[in-house]
Structure 1
Amino acid sequence: MSDTEDVDEPEPEQDGSQKSDNENDLEKEEPNVLTEETAGQSLSLLCKSGDGLSHAFIRADLKEKNLSDISILQGYIHLRFVDISKNRLTDLSPLNNLTHLLSVKADNNNLEKIGLQPFPFLQHASFSFNRINDTSGLEHPLLEQLNLSNNRIDSVKYLRCGLLSKLHTLEIRSNKIQSIEELNIPSLKNLYIDYNSISNLDGISRMNQLENLSVRKNKITELTCFNEPMSELKYLDIRDNLIANIEEIGKLKDLISLQSLLIAANPVCKEEGFRMEVLMHLQSISKLNEDDVAEDEKLEALEIAKQRQLEKEKFAEYEEMENI
């Protein structure tokens, strides 16, 4: 899953809304059904079965097999780890019989929906680089990590705490999402929603356990959402958005644990005194964009903030006297 190093990321691949020549070629290919022989060759990790009375292989590595049909897997009921990435799959329903699944990777397929029943033990799931257009079919009570990046998703309404109560990491980069207002997963610690079309972050305060938030390359213009405390947030990447007003920086002041702020490539960065304005409001940060924050900078910012407060108090006293 993702880390939080503040390095320039490459432009992600497109969301797949237009079919490439390779996709069209795949659709013209003949069906390629998973056989018992190929399935058998993919198995590894011999462990005790659920009842403890026998042994069975619990891992299947079937990536890059050009498969279009995995129906035979429904008979491999002891599997716990399945990797079916880089195939031509459009249907995952054969996996519904694998009630002991802990991890499934189905990246780089032709999926338009997920269509899985709730798995009682599933902890890790990845469906990136498909053609998925909604988030239904995700009701896994122990799921901790979920990757839905590079799809065609335009709504997050099915991503709710009642369905995903243990989820701590969600990657949903490079989709068509315009709002996260319906996103409600308080357990989230890491949220990556870069490269979408989000104009505001209304509702983000519901995820008050967030430690890492990345919303790079969206259409965000203001930061009012951070007026409500998010005391655990340590890393915030809001690069390549549309924040233009220097007053928006003050709305970050309640992020008391923030250590790293990436805000480059916003119009506000061109404002005179921008860096000092950030440091006045965010004494906790140790890195701003690509640069470390020196202690003498923090002291200077603190002094400016004190002088500004004194000036406000004097002005308030003056106004009060004028009104007597």
Structure 2
Amino acid sequence: MKLTADLIANSPTYINAIKEYELDLSGNHITMIENLGATRNLYDALNLCNNTIRVVGNFPELTRLQSLYIADNRISLIEADLAQTLPHLRTLVLTDNQIQNLVDLEPLGQLEMLENLSIMSNPVMAKPHARLWCIWRFKSLKVLNFERVLLKEKQEAKELFETSGQLTALAQGILAMEQSKVENTFVPGEGLETKEVVDQAKQQSIAELKARIREEMAQVAAMEEFI
């Protein structure tokens, strides 16, 4: 299904569990992000869970948007200009997608306000040192995969990937090896399939996901000294 201005106008909006004004576009068989200028930059949160989206990108400038929920899609690519179009993004939930390589996450490093990231159930998390790599590359993170980022993890990550302001051999090797794996061409729309209708259990899982985010961020606020 195309993400049209009519779909946006007729989709539910509400104040979500963490007090955000949210537009709910979940479960609509949406294949690509488009036409979001029709939101008129009115929303704090955008829910695109349970669709068939492959690329995180093609956003207009949405300076108000702070949370993007895009779990349970087919995401394999994050566009390089994401930080320019979503400059105030704090929460990004990419759980249960198809991100393969650590370098595929590099555009997130430009999101200066990104505090809460979930990339659970993506192939990339099976990579060696994946958690520490993300902590090192994305300096503003406070919560990664629903676990607080601890000061000792930041120190460990820096020692592993950086010495005297230079990349370690491990970091250079990861970047070189990972980049070589991304030498493929993405064809928009290629291989798209129609998803089954999202059932009530999946909708409940979205609510639980947001509840976990709320709980983790509350803990982070209360225990800032551990971060």
Look up the match of 2:147: 291
Q: Per-residue CA shift, 1:42-62, capped at 9, x if unaligned?
A: xxxxxxxxxxxxxxxxxxxxx
Q: CA distance change for structure 1 residues 222 and 270 in 2, over 3 Å: closer, same or farther?
A: same
Gaps of 5+ in 1: 1-132, 148-166, 316-324
1:284 CA drift (Å): 1.5
Q: CA distance change for structure 1 residues 308 and 281 in 2, over 3 Å: closer, same or farther?
A: farther
1:169 CA drift (Å): 2.0
Look up the match of 1:73: none
Look up the match of 2:126: 270
Q: Per-residue CA shift, 1:170-224, capped at 9, x if unaligned?
A: 0111111111122213332100010001111222352232111100000110112
1:309 CA drift (Å): 4.9
Give the one of 100, 104, 113 matched to 1:248: 104
Q: CA distance change for structure 1 residues 201 and 225 in 2, over 3 Å: closer, same or farther?
A: farther
Cα distance in 2, alignment partners of residues 193 and 137 from structure 1: 12
Secondary structure at the aligned position of 2:77 is classed as coil
Cα distance in 1, alignment partners of residues 4 and 60 from structure 2: 23
Look up the match of 1:136: 6
The two structures have a TM-score, normalised by structure 2, of 0.61
| 1:116-155 equivalences in 2 (<5 Å) | 136=6, 146=13
For the pair 1:210 / 2:77, whether they are aligned, the reply is: no
Q: Which amino acid aligns with 2:122?
A: N
Q: Which amino acid aligns with 1:239?
A: T
Higher relative contact order by CA 8 Å / sep ≥ 6: 1 or 2? 2
For the pair 1:200 / 2:67, whether they are aligned, the reply is: no
> If each structure's helix is expressed as a fraction of its own residues, which one has the higher value?
2
Look up the match of 2:216: none
Gaps of 5+ in 2: 15-19, 173-227
Cα distance in 1, alignment partners of residues 117 and 32 from structure 2: 22
Q: CA distance change for structure 1 residues 187 and 270 in 2, over 3 Å: closer, same or farther?
A: same
1:259 CA drift (Å): 1.4
Aligned residues: 159
Give the one of 174, 177, 200 matched to 2:27: 174
| 1:30-109 equivalences in 2 (<5 Å) | none
1:235 CA drift (Å): 0.9
Q: Per-residue CA shift, 1:60-109, capped at 9, x if unaligned?
A: xxxxxxxxxxxxxxxxxxxxxxxxxxxxxxxxxxxxxxxxxxxxxxxxxx
Note if contact 2:36-2:60 (Cα within 8 Å) is conserved in structure 1: no
Note if contact 1:223-1:248 (Cα within 8 Å) is conserved in structure 2: yes
After TM superposition, where is structure 1 displaced by more than 6 Å over at least 4 residues in a row? 137-140
Identity percentage over the alignment? 23
Cα distance in 2, alignment partners of residues 278 and 260 from structure 1: 12
Give the one of 284, 294, 302 matched to 2:158: 302
Larger Rg: 1
Look up the match of 1:320: none
1:283 CA drift (Å): 1.7
1:273 CA drift (Å): 0.9
Note if contact 1:226-1:255 (Cα within 8 Å) is conserved in structure 2: no
Give the one of 138, 158, 161 matched to 1:282: 138
Cα distance in 1, alignment partners of residues 35 and 124 from structure 2: 28
Note if contact 1:227-1:252 (Cα within 8 Å) is conserved in structure 2: yes
Q: Which amino acid aligns with 2:28?
A: N
Secondary structure at the aligned position of 2:121 is classed as coil
Cα distance in 1, alignment partners of residues 120 and 108 from structure 2: 15
Cα distance in 1, alignment partners of residues 7 and 102 from structure 2: 42
Q: CA distance change for structure 1 residues 268 and 138 in 2, over 3 Å: closer, same or farther?
A: closer
For the pair 1:259 / 2:115, whether they are aligned, the reply is: yes
Secondary structure at the aligned position of 1:269 is classed as helix
Look up the match of 1:24: none
Note if contact 2:57-2:78 (Cα within 8 Å) is conserved in structure 1: no
